[in-house]
């Protein structure tokens, strides 16, 4: 039988002639996912998976398991997600969880080693961080509506003025009615913010960061990648420099590839896939039209129709894993953008203060954990990369 204890898998060998009759009979009653306590001798055996096996001398059933709902056969996706609390035990899901864990630890180590300070930002917020249309709200005592944070960015901008290099890392929420393989309503995002970094510095930091995360998984989680049947070759190509292409050039290239994309609209998921497929490494698309991007991005002084931002697209069709930008550091321009987008300037008084009291060039970005893990694992949909995904039609388990 195959045993799992959270540290790995082990084959248990039971032979009738070496066991008391009662133990042999208990063995006969075992079903998949029964919880057991065993005694025996562990021996090296080159033929056994993992190089060892256990010769069992005694066996106690701790928790029987009649009719485990997930059998080694084809179940539909819907069924598996309804049984997510049990599906987590399967080998593929265990491997994905371990890769995610490595990515998360890699994120913390990367920033710690580079002297960034972690600043935890609020989840209940009064100021909308990204887009008004995609908010979860709740009544907040006498103060009206509170929103679940779409981003911690506005707060890490304040913290960067105090601490220089900072980041926040936590769950973020988007009431997006998207049912794509790239969207969750609750996802984890890490958001560094650096005082005095401009947009080019920002891209260099992203490059180093993504390369580090991928390298770390390749180095420490090769067993899991094997379990996932993930070909590591494309991941091994993730080296600096990443490709860089302006939004305007991306539109030209997409048109040549047959897309009906026009200048001025955002890149859709299909466009991102098509574009990213042309490159063997992650790709930066920079300086998008102002009209499709958030209010806080700095206007490009060389072309006021565009902003100093970038997306980072993962190869193999995975598309956007990072959105980043240099921030508008001019008080009056920022206020004008807030008004233009119909946002309430009162809610942003504190944010505007940052431009009033010693403003400074600064930049940052957000990397989505689930999209990054999906790409590294080669998973077709990001919902498998978080233990309990939240989607528009899913709130249980």
Least separation in angstroms between CB 71 and ligand NSS: 31
* Token pair recorded at residue 272: 């991102």
Which DSSP string corresponds to 355-380?
A: HHSS---EEEEEEEHHHHHHHHHT-S
User: Residue 307 has what DSSP assignment?
Assistant: B
The minimum distance between CB 359 and ligand NSS, in angstroms, equals: 18
Q: Which is nearer to ligand NSS, 165 or 183 (CB)?
A: 183
Alpha-carbon distances, residue 243 vs 63, 99, 217, 280, 337 (angstroms): 54, 26, 22, 9, 30
Contact 361, 198 (CB under 8 A): yes
Q: Half-sphere exposure of residue 329, counting CA atoms within 13 Å on the CB side?
A: 21
d(CA 70, CA 262): 47
Cβ of residue 160: shortest distance to ligand NSS, in angstroms? 11
CB of 351 to ligand NSS, least distance (A): 13
Give the integer Cα–Cα distance in Å for 71 and 63.
18
Q: How far is the CB of 224 from ligand NSS (least distance, A)?
A: 21
Secondary structure letter of residue 281 according to DSSP: S
Ranges of H-type helices in the chain: 21-28, 77-82, 84-87, 91-113, 153-163, 199-220, 222-227, 233-236, 247-256, 269-276, 331-340, 349-356, 369-377
Task: State in angstroms the smallest separation of the CB of 372 from ligand NSS.
Answer: 7
Q: Kindly tell me which of 65 and 292 has the beta carbon lying closer to ligand NSS.
A: 292
Considering beta carbons, is residue 227 or 370 the nearer one to ligand NSS?
370
| Minimum distance from residue 325 beta carbon to ligand NSS (Å) | 6
Torsion angle of alpha carbons 342, 344, 350, 354, nearest 10°?
20
Q: Tell me the closest approach of the beta carbon of residue 364 to ligand NSS, in angstroms.
A: 5
Binding site for ligand NSS (CB under 6 A): 129-130, 151, 153, 174, 176, 183-184, 187, 189, 191, 320-325, 364-366, 368, 370-371
Q: Give CA–CA dist 36/44, Å, rounded.
A: 22
Closest approach, Cβ 73 to ligand NSS, in A, equals 31
Q: How far is Cα 34 from Cα 11, in angstroms, rounded to an integer?
A: 15
Q: Provide the minimum distance between the beta carbon of 193 and ligand NSS in the complex, in angstroms, as a whole number.
A: 7
- Cβ proximity to ligand NSS: between 251 and 386 the closer is 386
User: Which residue lies nearer to ligand NSS by CB, 23 or 310?
Assistant: 310
CA 2 to chain centre: 32
Q: Which is nearer to ligand NSS, 87 or 167 (CB)?
A: 167
Q: How far is the CB of 130 from ligand NSS (least distance, A)?
A: 5
Burial of 205 (0-12, 13-18, 19+ CB in 10 A): buried
Q: What is the DSSP letter of 392?
A: T
Report the residue number, 83 or 390, with the smaller CB distance to ligand NSS: 390
Nearer to ligand NSS, 12 or 170 (CB): 170
Closest CB to ligand NSS among residues 18, 120: 120
Instruction: Give the CA count within 13 Å in the CB-facing half-sphere of 119.
Output: 26
The residue among 87 and 187 lying less far from ligand NSS, judged by its C-beta, is: 187
What one-character-per-residue DSSP string does 162-225 give?
Answer: HHSEEEEEEEEE------STT--SEEEEEEEEEET--HHHHHHHHHHHHHHHHHHHHHH-HHHH
Nearer to ligand NSS, 26 or 173 (CB): 173
């Amino acid at each position: 039988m195959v045993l799992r204890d959270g540290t790995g898998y082990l084959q248990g060998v039971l032979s009738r002639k070496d066991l008391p009759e009662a133990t042999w009979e208990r063995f006969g009653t075992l079903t998949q996912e029964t919880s057991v306590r065993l005694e025996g001798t562990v021996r090296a055996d080159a033929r056994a998976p993992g190089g060892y096996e256990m010769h069992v001398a005694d066996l106690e059933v701790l928790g029987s398991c009649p009719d485990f709902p997930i059998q080694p056969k084809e179940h539909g996706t819907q069924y598996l997600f309804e049984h997510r609390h049990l599906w987590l035990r399967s080998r593929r899901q265990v491997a994905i969880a371990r890769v995610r864990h490595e990515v998360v630890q890699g994120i913390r180590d990367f920033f710690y080693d580079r002297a960034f300070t972690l600043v935890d930002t609020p989840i209940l917020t009064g100021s909308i961080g990204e887009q008004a249309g995609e908010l979860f709200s709740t009544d907040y005592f006498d103060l009206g509506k509170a929103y679940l944070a779409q981003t911690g960015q506005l707060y890490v901008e304040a913290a960067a003025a105090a601490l220089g290099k900072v980041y926040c890392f936590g769950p973020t929420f988007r009431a997006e009615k998207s049912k794509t393989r790239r969207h969750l309503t609750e996802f984890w995002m890490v958001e560094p913010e650096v005082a005095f970094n401009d947009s080019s510095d920002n891209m260099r930091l992203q490059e180093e960061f993504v390369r580090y995360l991928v390298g770390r998984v390749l180095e420490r989680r090769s067993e899991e990648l094997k379990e996932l049947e993930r070909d590591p070759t494309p991941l091994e190509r993730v080296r600096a420099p990443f490709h860089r292409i302006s939004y305007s050039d991306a539109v030209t290239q997409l048109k040549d590839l047959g897309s009906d994309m026009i200048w001025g609209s955002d890149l859709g998921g299909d466009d991102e896939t098509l574009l990213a497929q042309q490159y063997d490494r992650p790709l930066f698309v920079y300086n998008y039209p102002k009209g499709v991007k958030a209010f806080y991005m700095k206007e490009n002084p060389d072309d006021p129709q565009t902003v100093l931002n970038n997306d980072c697209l993962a190869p193999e069709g995975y598309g956007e894993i990072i959105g980043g930008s240099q921030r508008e550091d001019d008080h009056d321009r920022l206020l004008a953008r807030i008004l233009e987008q119909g946002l309430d300037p009162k809610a942003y008084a504190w944010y505007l203060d940052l431009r009033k009291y010693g403003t400074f060039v600064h930049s940052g970005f957000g990397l989505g954990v689930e999209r990054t893990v999906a790409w590294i694992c080669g998973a077709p949909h990001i919902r498998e990369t978080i233990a309990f995904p939240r989607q528009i039609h899913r709130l249980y388990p």
